[in-house]
Amino acid sequence: MKLTRIHTAPSLDFYASDLTMVLELPVAGTGVAAGFPSPAEDDEELSLDLNKALIKHPAATFYARVKGSSMRDAGIVDGDLLIVDKSLEAKDGDIAVCFLDGEFTVKRIALRQDALFLMPANDEFQPIRITEESDFLVWGIVTFIVHKPR
């Protein structure tokens, strides 16, 4: 998958992708135990194309590289790659890429009685209340997070 940078912002870099290439990768047919190890069984021959598995709406899907730590406790850290689907409708609790007063940010959407908040996942940051005066747009919904473990 080839990424093409389409926009750079202080908190996110945005990329479009070329999804025309099919890349079938082998998959462990029996799964991998996250608890106690289990005896290996006969491997089935399975494969997976990450483009097909992770992207449901190719024309509306973009990638964003995270800069910063405001979503650290949600498992989103500096350098992570977000898969963002612009065709999805935002719901309470979604993690979204939002455009607020001229800046992009990634936060969790929180609907509270008559107010909308953008919630960080790091105690060092404050929730952001969206007001009628805010220049605000939910740009897209984060559908997957690609995180490098080291």
Residue 8's beta-bridge partner residues? 13
User: Which residue in the list 11, 52, 70, 148 is annotated as catalytic?
Assistant: 70
52 is catalytic: no
Side-chain-facing half-sphere of 59: CA atoms under 13 Å = 0
For residue 79, give Cα distances in angstroms to 13, 64, 87.
10, 9, 24
Count how many Cα atoms sit within 13 Å of the Cα of residue 148 in the half-sphere of its side chain: 7
Query: Which among 17, 87, 107, 134 is annotated as catalytic?
Result: 107
**Higher pLDDT, residue 114 or 76:** 76
CA distance 10 to 130: 20
pLDDT in tens, 33-85: 778 776 666 656 678 888 888 889 988 999 999 999 999 999 999 999 999 99
- The CATH H-level (homologous superfamily) assignment of domain 4-19+57-146 is Umud Fragment, subunit A (2.10.109.10)
Dig out the tokens for 53 from the structure.
């598995």
Where are the domains positioned within the chain? Answer: 4-19+57-146
Question: For 21-25, 64-68, 69-73, 95-99, which range has the lowest pLDDT when averaged over its residues?
Answer: 21-25
- Give the count of beta carbons closer than 10 Å to the beta carbon of residue 143: 17
Stretch among 25-34, 72-81, 91-100, 128-137 having the lowest mean pLDDT: 25-34
Q: Is 11 a catalytic residue?
A: no
Residue 150: the pLDDT is 80
